[in-house]
Each structure stands twice: as C-alpha cells, then as structure tokens.
Amino acid sequence: MCGIVGYLGHRQAYNILISGLHRLEYRGYDSAGVAVVNDDGSLEVCKAKGKVSNLEQAAAGVNLTGHLGIAHTRWATHGEPNNINAHPHLSQDGTLALVHNGTIENYAVIKQMLLDNGVEFTSETDTEVLVQFIAYIRNENGCTLFEAVTSALRQVEGAFAIGLIEVNNPDTLIVARKASPLVIGLGDGETFIASDATPIVGYTDKVIYLKDNEIALIKRDEELQILDLTDFHKSDIDIQEIKLSLAQLEKGGYDTFMLKEIFEQPTTLRDCLRGRIVEESSRIKLSGVELNRDVFAKCKRIVLVACGTSWHAALIGKRLLQDFCNLPVEVEYASEFRYSNPYLTPDDVVIAISQSGETADTLAAIQLARQKGAFVYGVCNVVGASIPRNTDSGTYIHVGPEIGVASTKAFTGQVTVLTLLALAVGQLRGTVSPDTVKEIADGLSSLPETIEEVLKLSPRIKELSNIFTYARNFLYLGRGYNYPTALEGALKLKEISYIHAEGYPAAEMKHGPIALIDQEMPSVIIAPSDSLYDKVISNVQQVKSRGGHVLAIVSKGNTSMDNIADYCLDIPEVHECLTPIVASIPLQLLAYYIAINKGKNVDMPRNLAKSVTVE
C-alpha cells in the first residue's frame, strides 16, 4: 500500500528518493511523486500516474537538485489514481509539501471548514485537506510549523504516517505516525524516513521505529526530537539495528521475486525452524511459549485472527491447535472480529498472524483483544513491525523479506510456526504424546529436503500450466487439513492470473458448486494420502462424471488416483498435519506459470498491496 520515503542530508535527495520508491514498489501503488527543496530555495514537485519509472521520465527535465525531499507511492483511497491526486500535496500558498499514508476519517468536516474560510482545493484527497489544515492553523494562530502540525494531528481522526517539508527551509523534516508505520534511519549527518526499512538498507543499519502518536522533528546537525502527540512529553529514543541486506531485496537471478521466493522455501523453512527443535527432535522450544508458560497452561480458548493468506494459515493453525492442545479454537477474519463485539476473557489467548505486521484490521483486532483482557500472541515475519510491537509475546517466522505481493514463503513459514506452536503448547499442557512430537518434529526437520523434492515438479507444472491457461474459472477442492490449502491455492491463482477461482471443502461441492462443473471448468484436488483420502476420491469421481477436468495433488506411491484424475502431481508423503505446507508448493507454481503464460505482472498484481494499512 502507500509508501513514504524522505531524506535530509548531504547527498542529492532525488536519487535517494527514487531508489527508495523503487524498493517500496512491492507494497503496491498506482501513482508516485516527489518533492524537493532545491538549493535555490524553491520547492519543486513532480508526480506521475502509474509506475515509478513514469515518474522518472516526468522528472527528467525538472529541477530537483537539493538535499531535502519527500516522495510517495500512492494506492488510491480518496479519488482516482492520477497526477492530481498523487502525493506530495501542497498547501494553497505553495509553502508546504506533505506525503501521507492512511486515511483521515473526518476530512470532510475539516474540508468544509476550510472551504468556508476561502481555501481552494485541487485534488479529491484527504491528504490535501491535511496539508491545507496545517497551513491554515499556522496562518490563523501565527504559530511555528511544528506547533501547527501537532495541533492539526491532534484534531484529525483516522490513521496517518506523514512526512512534511517547507519551502525555504532546507534543514527541517517533520514526520509523525498513528496506526500507520514510519521508520527513521540515522546515518552519518543524514536522516532517512520510510514506511518500512527497505529504502534505508545499504545507507545505515540504525533505525528508530516511530511509535503510535509520536511526532519527530528532524533538523540538520541537531539532535533528533521525538514527542508524544497526546501530552507532548519527550519520548525515549530507542535506536535499533536492522539486519536486512541488499541481497535479500534483490531477485538473485530469478525472473521475478515471486519465483525466487517460491524456490527459496527450503532455505526459508530451515531458517524458520532453526533452534526450535531440540534434544534430538524430542522437544519444541519457542521462547514466546516458554516465557509465558502460565498463560498457555491455563488458557481456556484460542482465537486466531488474520486476513487473506494469513487467515488461511490460521485455519490450518486451528486444526493443529485442536489436534495437539485439546482446546477450543476459533478463527476470525480480523476485519470482522474488530467490529463483532467478541466475547473474550483473560483466559483467552488471541493469536494474530500477519506477514507484514502492519495490516490495519489485524492491528485493530489486537488492540480490541488486549482491551478485553486477552493475552495476544503475534506470528509475524517483518521484524520490528507494528504487530510484534503491539502484542504481549510472539514468534517471528524468519523467512526474510517477501517482496512478491502474492504471499508464498510467508505462508509456509506461518504454517510451520503454527505447527511448532501447537506442539510446544501441547507439550506444555501434556496433550500431545512425546512420540507424536518426535514424529512431527522429524518431519519438520526434513521439510527443506522434502520441499526441494517438490520443487523438481516445476517443469511438469509449467507444462500443465499450458493446458490450463485457457480456463476462465477454477475450482480448488480439499478436505480436513487441506481445505485451507485449497482456499490458498485458489487465492494465489486469482491474485496473479486474474482467473476466477473458488476454494471449497471437497464434500461441500455437491451442495452447490457442482452445478458449475463442465468441460470448461477444471478442478484442482488436493488429495494426499491422509485420513480423508478415500472420501476425496469419491468427490473427484463426482467431478469426473460431470465432464470436469481434474488435476490432483497426490502422495508419491499412491496410484489409485491415476485412473480417475486427468493429471496427477506426486508429492512426498509426510505426516497429515504437514501436508498443507508440502501441497501448497505445486499450487504456488501452477498459479505462477498460468499468470506468466497470460503475461501478467506476478510481483505487482493490479489493485493489490503488500501491506494493507487501511481498513
């Protein structure tokens, strides 16, 4: 979703801003813009609809030579994606430029007040309302810019991360945040700001994650000041080290980030498991569980909250926690949970799952759960993101930066961590036998090799993708542990190929979707040799007898599907609870190759954002 970059230092700001925007492209956006306070004292703005490369073309003849600037990638919320609505936005007198992520909910009331006072607007955005409001307060009250910004931000409702610069003031950059992330990078005589750490990597490894309701005054050659917007007390400055490398942010020889991330999974799962299976596979060690033994020993219910792919991981987590912890477990979409007045008590543990750690709905669900006294545990990928900082405890999945908008390695990392979590809690509560822990832990330890084996199917899946690219609709079917795998396979296909796909519990198909089946609508069946295999076989027969084409994912050595399905992909046999991880790999590849055949941009699919920071 929207991305902010800013720079104040001794280098040419424009170059740093553009390279930062490129690094933020993965978040998803539809226009981009840049503003620089030039060395001649002017404030120059340049914007373009579409890609950052369009902005670079538009900026070619423009004077953007200065050492202070802000830039933005916009994912439209208020007003269509075009040059006018793109950020930065200027105050009417042209003295202030603002970039903003988030949404100002009371913008209409403020806009009306400003219109009544003669302010004119050029765009449809809530961001222009904010910058005009700041300028209005400054003019009306004769206060400093910093005072005007704090006053405006105390009056707006909603979410924001902002970066603000002023003409004729090449030495000051103001940033603030509420419910939308913002990172400050501290270099040697230079300061960077960004929505996440990726634009800062390579310049400095020292960062400050601005906390909710904080505002920072960044001045050249002066000590950084951070204040709390609610009571103006000085905040402690907590400098952290980022451990990302430039190599992790590059494609490493693959055509796309998505393909790189699919093929990285043996490594990312090794990283995810490192140090967590101990004593010759007989014990699972998760520090988040060990530090909160009492909470997990006494808890009476677990509620998992998440969105999108992370919600699919949560559905698998439900099965794992039910099977190994003997607890009632519920799964909720974070966006529904936050408005559902959920029944929660201090005996409940809420597990929030999020790759980015910034999803607005998941963050709001966490806040609600904590208000209601539940213990909140995060399962997150991005270190230092808002979700891990707002939960009581948690586990990082440690799969490295995921740049492709369609989640792949983060999904398998999430399911791996949920498996570890269910075993660790089950161990603690005495609800899982040591033999079962050992058997599954052995399977987890072998996952990197198992997935390497599955990845060898890639050429065959590429071939099959040619057969299926014609389809306009797909059905993905699975049962038990693999019903969520079917949902995830369908989501991957939808996201990157724009083909309509529905995931369904295989047995539910006969209650409705069976009406859709004909020769034009292929079904992908996830049918490893598990406890429901025989049941799935009869569901496949129901598809076949209606003329549907079937691609089945089956366990190696089980040939009984060969004469029923049109095509079979053999995956290694693993413990039933690990089948979603293994079976999701061919589904990722199938979606990938179909999307490539259709000429789609798999890393940045239309309309999607990597970090969904609006509700």
How far does Cα 317 stand from its chain's mean position? 18
Residues 589, 458 contacting (CB under 8 angstroms): yes
* Angle ∠(503,509,515) on CA atoms, nearest 5: 110
Q: CA-based diameter of the chain, in Å?
A: 82
Which CB, 150 or 408, lies closer to ligand AGP?
408
CA atoms within 13 A on the CB side of 241: 2
Q: Which of the 8 DSSP states describes residue 26?
A: G
First to last CA, the chain: 11
- The answer to the question of residue 406 lying near ligand AGP (CB under 6 A) is yes
Helices (H), 28-183: 52-59, 107-116, 126-141, 145-155
DSSP H/E element including 336: helix 334-337
- The answer to the question of residue 308 lying near ligand AGP (CB under 6 A) is yes
**Which residue among 318, 492, 494, 610 is the active-site one?**
610
Binding mask 165-204 for ligand AGP (x = CB under 6 A): ----------------------------------------
Q: What share of the chain is helix, strand, coil (3-state, %, to 5)?
A: 40, 25, 40
Region of 130-138, 265-273, 355-363, 461-469 interacting with ligand AGP (CB under 6 A) = 355-363
Backbone dihedral angles phi then psi of residue 441, each to the nearest 5 degrees: -60, -40
Which CB, 554 or 612, lies closer to ligand AGP?
612
What residues contact 544, with CB distance under 8 A and at least 6 apart? 550, 564, 565
Kindly state the smallest distance separating residue 385's Cβ from ligand AGP, in Å.
Answer: 9
Which CB, 296 or 411, lies closer to ligand AGP?
411
- The answer to the question of residue 95 lying near ligand AGP (CB under 6 A) is no
Which CB, 69 or 605, lies closer to ligand AGP?
605
Which CB, 46 or 403, lies closer to ligand AGP?
403
What residues contact 223, with CB distance under 8 A and at least 6 apart? none
Binding ligand AGP by CB under 6 A: which of 191, 355, 412, 416? Answer: 355
For the chain, the residue count is 615
Which CB, 85 or 362, lies closer to ligand AGP?
362
Binding ligand AGP by CB under 6 A: which of 175, 201, 229, 307? Answer: 307
Residues 596, 589 contacting (CB under 8 angstroms): no
Region of 77-85, 110-118, 149-157, 352-360 interacting with ligand AGP (CB under 6 A) = 352-360
What is the footprint of ligand AGP within residues 592-611 (CB under 6 A)? 608
Which CB, 87 or 409, lies closer to ligand AGP?
409
What is the footprint of ligand AGP within residues 412-431 (CB under 6 A)? none
Kindly state the smallest distance separating residue 545's Cβ from ligand AGP, in Å.
Answer: 34
What is the footprint of ligand AGP within residues 485-544 (CB under 6 A)? 495
- The answer to the question of residue 97 lying near ligand AGP (CB under 6 A) is no
Q: Which two tokens stand for residue 271?
A: 């990283």
How many Cβ atoms sit within 10 Å of the Cβ of residue 520?
Answer: 13
2 is catalytic: yes
- The answer to the question of residue 132 lying near ligand AGP (CB under 6 A) is no
Instruction: Quote the strand ranges of 414-479, DSSP E.
Output: 473-478
Tokens 């503003």 appear where? 35
Binding ligand AGP by CB under 6 A: which of 309, 386, 391, 450? Answer: 309
- The answer to the question of residue 405 lying near ligand AGP (CB under 6 A) is yes
- The answer to the question of residue 359 lying near ligand AGP (CB under 6 A) is yes
Quote the CA–CA distance of 24 and 161 in Å, as a whole number: 15
Kindly state the smallest distance separating residue 172's Cβ from ligand AGP, in Å.
Answer: 33
**Beta bridge partners of residue 333, listed in sequence order:** 306
Tokens 């990938």 appear where? 592
Question: To 10 degrees, the CA torsion angle through 232, 164, 610, 74?
Answer: 140
Instruction: Quote the strand ranges of 127-276, DSSP E.
Output: 160-166, 169-178, 183-186, 191-194, 206-209, 214-219, 225-228, 240-241
- The answer to the question of residue 273 lying near ligand AGP (CB under 6 A) is no
Backbone dihedral angles phi then psi of residue 463, each to the nearest 5 degrees: -60, -50
| Cα Rg of the chain (Å, integer) | 26
610 is catalytic: yes
- The answer to the question of residue 261 lying near ligand AGP (CB under 6 A) is no
Kindly state the smallest distance separating residue 306's Cβ from ligand AGP, in Å.
Answer: 6
Sign of CA pseudo-dihedral 415, 419, 424, 426: positive
Q: Is the peptide bond before 401 cis (omega within 30 degrees of 0)?
A: no
Binding mask 476-495 for ligand AGP (x = CB under 6 A): -------------------x
Binding ligand AGP by CB under 6 A: which of 378, 612, 613, 614? Answer: 612
- The answer to the question of residue 407 lying near ligand AGP (CB under 6 A) is yes
Kindly state the smallest distance separating residue 57's Cβ from ligand AGP, in Å.
Answer: 29
The site that binds ligand AGP (CB under 6 A) totals a number of residues, namely 15
Kindly state the smallest distance separating residue 259's Cβ from ligand AGP, in Å.
Answer: 15
Q: Which two tokens stand for residue 244?
A: 């990302």
Kindly state the smallest distance separating residue 579's Cβ from ligand AGP, in Å.
Answer: 20
- The answer to the question of residue 395 lying near ligand AGP (CB under 6 A) is no
Which CB, 38 or 356, lies closer to ligand AGP?
356
Residues 22, 253 contacting (CB under 8 angstroms): no
Region of 6-14, 37-45, 370-378, 403-411 interacting with ligand AGP (CB under 6 A) = 403-411
**Which residue among 2, 272, 307, 568 is the active-site one?**
2
Binding mask 5-24 for ligand AGP (x = CB under 6 A): --------------------
Q: Which residues bind ligand AGP (CB under 6 A)?
A: 307-310, 354-356, 359, 362, 405-407, 495, 608, 612
Residues tagged active-site: 2, 610
